[in-house]
Amino acid sequence: MSFDVSAIREQFPILKREIDGKPLVYLDNAATTQKPQCVIDALVDYYTSCNSNVHRGAHRLADEATRRFEAARDIVKDFINAPKREEVIWTTGTTEGINIIANGLGKLLQPGDEVIATGMDHHANLVTWQQACKASGASLKTVPVTDEGELDQAAYAQMLGEKTKFVAIPHVSNALGTVNPVQQMTAQAKQVGAWVLIDGAQGATHGWVDVQAIGCDFYVFSAHKLYGPMGIGVLWGKEAVLADWPVWRTGGEMIATVTLQDATWNVLPYRFEAGTPNVADAIAMGEAIRWFTALDQEAVAAHEKALLDYATQLANEFEGLTIIGKAKHKIGVLSFVLDQGHPADIGFLLDRQGIAVRTGDHCAQPLMARFNVPGTARASFAIYNTLEEVDALFAALKKVRTMLA
Ligand code: PLP
């Protein structure tokens, strides 16, 4: 198999758009990726051919919808190498997955217990553990970030101890692109008996994930960063842990029996899936993963690496540009500031030239404070981006520099 970027681009209708008469150069993929036609078709097809509520109907449409919905769960199971399909819980996205676990953790922690998060966390990860600690009287420690934008492994090793009950680490930093050594960090946390959650929002978007190899207890991610729809994602958790984890939302589907005074809980995965699920988007998430994993993964990785390497080379040659985040192992993200101009101005002036990047704190305010910047401009790459688009970014940045001067 090989990798034909033009053929890939053809499958994304939105990439044909123009912005003020200029071709769209979409470099905001860490915020959300665009969707291939087959994912859009999966949504339309569901609503036009078998829309129905799942699990509880006695008719043909309900049966078909349930089959497709549960088949999507199997696709996710294989994608992350989960041992059991029951361990795959549908959520609205990474944020909800983290909240489900943090809510339960708040009830399990005792004063004196410690939770470890990191200085490069997305607010979805950091703020949620802050709240779990406040609710329980536990304390929160955060792994510092080095000047290169890596997690300080010596500091992490020092933090771990018998009080450590929970460790939450991003697989890949959305603001810096750093790929963290999650397997090694999980193994260290396991030595002190802590539970481990990996925030895979940016990790599951670049290829197969192997939750068994990582060894974590929980892995969470969102479909919309993986060529799938918004409003759907997955919490994966080890059956042995999830089966006893405190339930979060209550309501239909998550119960086994109900009396006027009490209720008992359903088995996994339904225990954590209260209410009518987002059936159409779950099916379309399955389609996105099916589409993505059918690509030659080595070629995909090589293409993404070529984009980042080329962008980094041009950034290093660009006068007045500082890259924020120079980790040895990086993926998909070039975050930078210019000597002149606030990141918001850079974003605005790039948009006038058809280039879509993200600017601001990237939901990582403590990380921006760590690097002493108000925010950065961030170009983030996906498989449909081209080296010509990287050239277009830097040609546009030259104009931005002139305008700001
Ligand atoms: N964690 C990381 C590392 C992210 O990049 C994001 C989104 O940008 C999130 C969590 C939250 O994801 P979502 O908004 O899809 O729930």
Q: What is the pLDDT of residues 55-66, one digit of tens each?
A: 977 899 999 999
In the predicted model, what is the mean pLDDT of residues 238-244? 96
Fold identical between 5-31+296-404 and 41-293? no
pTM (global) more than 0.95:
yes
122 lines ligand 1 (CB under 6 A): yes
% pLDDT > 70, the chain: 100
222 lines ligand 1 (CB under 6 A): yes
In the predicted model, what is the mean pLDDT of residues 355-366? 97
Band the pLDDT of 1: cuts 50, 70, 90. Answer: low
In angstroms, what is the span from residue 130 Cα to ligand 1's centroid? 17
For the chain, give the mean pLDDT.
Answer: 96
CA pair distance 53, 66, nearest whole angstrom: 8
Torsions phi, psi for 311 (to 5 deg): -60, -40
In angstroms, what is the span from residue 94 Cα to ligand 1's centroid? 6
pLDDT of residue 208: 79
Band the pLDDT of 340: cuts 50, 70, 90. Answer: confident
In angstroms, what is the span from residue 157 Cα to ligand 1's centroid? 26
CA 169 to chain centre: 12
CA 366 to chain centre: 19
- Per-residue model confidence as pLDDT tens digits over 366-405: 999 999 999 999 999 999 999 999 999 999 999 999 999 8
**Ligand 1 pocket test: which of 29, 96, 122 has the largest number of ligand atoms within 8 Å of its C-beta?**
122
174 lines ligand 1 (CB under 6 A): yes
- Quick one: 5-31+296-404 is in which CATH superfamily? Aspartate Aminotransferase, domain 1 (3.90.1150.10)
CA pair distance 380, 30, nearest whole angstrom: 6
Q: Is 216 a catalytic residue?
A: no
Pairing of strands 376-380, 263-265: unpaired
pLDDT of residue 97: 98
362 lines ligand 1 (CB under 6 A): no
Closest CA to 146 of 309, 371, 338: 371
**Ligand 1 pocket test: which of 28, 92, 95, 227 has the largest number of ligand atoms within 8 Å of its C-beta?**
95
The residue with tokens 């080595």 is 298
Q: Please give the number of the atom of ligand 1 that sits closest to the Cα of 95.
A: 16
Band the pLDDT of 305: cuts 50, 70, 90. Answer: very high
Where are the chain's structural domains?
A: 5-31+296-404, 41-293
**Ligand 1 pocket test: which of 94, 198, 205, 218 has the largest number of ligand atoms within 8 Å of its C-beta?**
94
In angstroms, what is the span from residue 170 Cα to ligand 1's centroid? 10
pLDDT of residue 317: 98
CATH number of 41-293: 3.40.640.10
**Cis ω on the peptide bond leading into residue 269 (within 30° of 0)?**
yes
- Per-residue model confidence as pLDDT tens digits over 89-118: 999 999 999 999 999 999 999 999 999 999
Cα atoms in the 13 Å half-sphere on the side-chain side of 394: 18
Helices (H), ranges, 50-171 = 60-79, 94-108, 123-136, 153-159
pLDDT of 287 higher than 70: yes
199 lines ligand 1 (CB under 6 A): yes
332 lines ligand 1 (CB under 6 A): no
73 lines ligand 1 (CB under 6 A): no
Q: Please give the number of the atom of ligand 1 that sits closest to the Cα of 230.
A: 15
124 lines ligand 1 (CB under 6 A): yes
In the predicted model, what is the mean pLDDT of residues 356-367? 96
Q: How many other CB atoms are found less than 10 A from the CB of residue 157?
A: 11
In the predicted model, what is the mean pLDDT of residues 146-161? 98
Q: How many other CB atoms are found less than 10 A from the CB of residue 54?
A: 20
